[in-house]
Amino acid sequence: MRGIAEEVCDEYENRGLVGRPLFWREDKRQLDALLMRFLAKDSEHRACNGTSPIAAELPFGMPGGRVGTVEIALPDGRTVDFRGKADRVDQSEAGALEVVDYKTGRTTGFTKLSAADPDLGGKKLQLPVYGLAARAFAGRDGAAVQSTYWFTSRRGGFKRIGYPVTKSVLERVSQTLGRVVEGIEAGVFPPVPSETSTATRVECAYCDPDGLGVVDLLRQMERKRLDPAMASFLVLDESVEDASPDGRDGGDE
C-alpha cells in the first residue's frame, strides 16, 4: 500500500499539483496514516465476518464483461436495465456476499438509509443494483448479499451504512423506479434544490448553475407542489406533506 501511495504521490509531485513543499510533507504524512488505518479497519472487518475479496471494480453491462446488465422489474412488468462498476465484492466461507462502495466524504445524506427505505425516495439506487450485480457475478441468484457504503476517511469516521438486499428491498426499489419512470414519461423534471444556500460550494450544478443560490427555486417548488403533474414525483419523498392535489399526504400507493 505504501509503495502504491509513493508512486501516486510522485506522479502528482512531477505534475506540480501538490502545492508548497512544507504543506505537502504534512499532507503525505496524513495520507500515510489514513491508508494504514484503512488497512487495519479492513482486516478487522474481514476477520470478524470471515470474508475475502473476490472482485474489484466489477463491471456489469459493459462490453466484454462477464456480467450483463442488471435488470429490475417494474410493477407494470417492464424492466429497467443498469450498467456500471461495483467497487468491491467480498465473499464469506459460507458463500454470503458483501458489496462495498467506497465513499470519502461525510455520511451526511446517507444516515437514514435502511432496508425499510433502501433508496431514500429514489436518491440512492447504487446498493440494490450492486447487490444484484454481485449475485450475477457469483452465479447464485439466491445468494445472501449485504450492500454497504464504507466511508473511508476521517470525515466519514470509517462508518459502514448499508443493508441486506432482500426480496422486500427489491420490491420497494421496484416501486420507486416505477414512479421515476412514470415521471420521466410524463415529462416531469423539476429541480430539487437543497433547503439552504449557505454551503461554501455549489451542491447541485443543475439547480444552481450560476452559483447565486437556490432561493428562487425553492419558491417555485412551493408553488408547484399541488400541481397534479407533480404527484408522482413528490410521492417519492415521504417527508413532503400535502403532495396530492386534494391536500392529502401522497404516501405509498
* The pLDDT of residue 244 is above 70: no
- pLDDT in the model for residue 51: 96
How does pLDDT run across 140-177, given as a tens digit for each residue?
Answer: 999 999 999 999 999 999 999 999 999 999 999 999 99
Of 206 and 11, the one with more pLDDT: 11
* The pLDDT of residue 35 is above 60: yes
How does pLDDT run across 118-145, given as a tens digit for each residue?
Answer: 999 888 999 999 999 999 999 999 999 9
Q: What is the mean pLDDT of residues 45-68?
A: 94
By C-alpha distance, which of 151, 98, 99, 95 is closest to 126? 99
- pLDDT in the model for residue 204: 75
**Whether 132 contacts 70, CB under 8 Å:** yes
- pLDDT in the model for residue 152: 95
The mean of the pLDDT values for the chain is: 87
* The pLDDT of residue 6 is above 50: yes
**Whether 213 contacts 223, CB under 8 Å:** no
How does pLDDT run across 65-98, given as a tens digit for each residue?
Answer: 889 999 999 999 999 999 999 999 999 999 999 9
Count of Cβ atoms closer than 10 Å to residue 149 Cβ: 22
Q: What is the mean pLDDT of residues 23-52?
A: 96
Domain boundaries, the chain: 1-49, 51-170, 186-253
In this structure, of 40-54, 186-200, 235-249, the range with the lowest mean pLDDT score is 235-249
Give a three-class secondary structure readout of the chain: CHHHHHHHHHHHHHCCCCCCHHHHHHHHHHHHHHHHHHHHHHHHHHHHHCEEEEEEEEEECCCCCCECCEEEECCCCCEEEECEEEEEEEEECCCCEEEEEEECCCCCCCCCCCCCCCCCCCCCCHHHHHHHHHHHHHCCCCCCEEEEEEECCCCCCCCEEEEECCHHHHHHHHHHHHHHHHHHHCCCCCCCCCCCCCCCCCCCCCCCCCCCCCHHHHHHHHHHCCCHHHHHHHCCCCCCCCCCCCCCCCCCC
How does pLDDT run across 183-217, given as a tens digit for each residue?
Answer: 888 888 777 777 665 667 777 777 788 888 888 88
- pLDDT in the model for residue 199: 65
By C-alpha distance, which of 149, 126, 137 is closest to 54? 137
- pLDDT in the model for residue 80: 96
**Whether 130 contacts 86, CB under 8 Å:** yes
Q: What is the mean pLDDT of residues 13-35?
A: 94
Separation between Cα atoms, residue 90 and residue 194, nearest integer Å? 35
- pLDDT in the model for residue 197: 58
- pLDDT in the model for residue 196: 63
Q: What is the mean pLDDT of residues 2-10?
A: 95
- pLDDT in the model for residue 157: 94
**Whether 11 contacts 17, CB under 8 Å:** no
